[in-house]
């Protein structure tokens, strides 16, 4: 669920940064 939400928001800068943070966190 969270991954889908993050991917949906990657088009925006905040969503992209969040995706990177989650990736580093192990998600």
Q: What is the pLDDT, as a whole number, of residue 7?
A: 58
When computed from its CA atoms, the radius of gyration of the chain, rounded to whole angstroms, is 8
Q: What is the pLDDT, as a whole number, of residue 21?
A: 81
DSSP string, 1-27: -HHHHHHHTTTSHHHHHHHHHHHHHT-
The tens digit of pLDDT for each residue in 1-27 reads: 556 655 555 556 666 777 778 788 765
Residue 23: both structure tokens together: 């990736």
Q: What is the pLDDT, as a whole number, of residue 15?
A: 67
Q: What is the pLDDT, as a whole number, of residue 4?
A: 60
Q: What is the pLDDT, as a whole number, of residue 16?
A: 74
């Amino acid at each position: 669920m969270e991954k889908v939400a993050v991917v949906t928001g990657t088009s925006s800068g905040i969503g992209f940064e969040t995706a990177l943070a989650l990736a580093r966190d192990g998600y």
